[in-house]
Amino acid sequence: MTPSDTKQGTQKKAASAVEKAADRRIGVHLSTTGGVANAVRNAATIGANTLQIFSASPRMWRASKISAEQGMSTRAARAELNIGPLVIHTSYLVNVCSQSQEVREKSIAAFRGEIERALALGAEYLVLHPGSYRGLTRAQGLELAAESITRAIDGVPWQGADFYILIENTAGAEFSLGGSFEQVAELIEHLRPHAPVAACLDTCHTHVAGYDIVSEAGWAETVRQIESTIGCDAVRVWHCNDAKAERGSKLDRHQHIGEGKIGLEPFRRLLHETKFAHAAFIAETPVDAPGDEERNVRALQKLLTSASDRDRQIKLVEEIMDKDRNILKALAE
């Protein structure tokens, strides 16, 4: 390898990093104060090219409908600023596998409203936590979840829309449906005949549920498990959250990117994983101070364009080799 070859290789890597950064969709969960179109503009202002929102208060059963004007203004803002996909997170109250018929009926009605608002806004994805099956068996919880989601979407004209319900993996707490990739895959399979469905995976949930995403070997095994259960192609969104708790703790406590138990390198690996190149990467990190949303978006973007430890080591070896060749060349002359 000549110095010219090394330089060309470095330039190609740099160009590839820039191209990759432009292709990846990186964003954050944002407030809709001032309207959804305003949230889209705020996403662009902080450098994001995708975003997640709540379409209504996440802690109230009743919600207003989305007007035609709101839908049009949101679509126009997204088209102007190239923001997408638009991801909506379902209300925390919704529990589609509750043993309580009253809660389940409220959840079905609320989730139907979530679907209708998502379609009105032109959102591509609606993320759902399957809920808690406390008081039931896991099999019963799975059946109730599938039945409730099917009822919620029945009669809603989703066909022809670029729209998917995303089942999110959970932190693995007792009675929480979706604490393993197998459970997420199982629910997706139950729903496929009745609804447009795929998956959303959360880095914090994955970590505290017990999967190793921190070590390089562990990450490779985790990707293999995702592929063999859910399928990497079915993962449309990654929630990028560091974790305050240890692996396997089952404690869902989000932390800023690089400041928790996961650390920076696993996020770099995730963003560079070609099997998830089609996905959107959205932070749901704490907002402890003004500017935290932008700070976490920028952290993810920097990881996408900066070199990994291995890349830096390779570059150092190449530089040493070039220096040795130059010395040998000078001695030969």
Please identify every residue annotated as catalytic.
59, 89, 92, 129, 168, 202, 205, 239, 252, 254, 284
In contact, 268 and 224? CB cutoff 8 Å: no
| Identity of the residue numbered 283 | A
Q: Which of 174, 247, 150, 253 is nearest to 206 (CA)?
A: 247
CA pair distance 70, 73, nearest whole angstrom: 5
Location of structure tokens 């919704």: 94
- Point out which residues pair with 245 in neighbouring strands: none
Indicate the helix (H) or strand (E) that contains 8. Answer: helix 3-23
330/333 Cα distance (integer angstroms):
5
Beta bridge partners of 242: 255
- Check the CA dihedral 303-305-311-312 and report its sign: negative
Identify whether the C-beta of residue 127 lies closer than 8 Å to the C-beta of residue 237.
yes
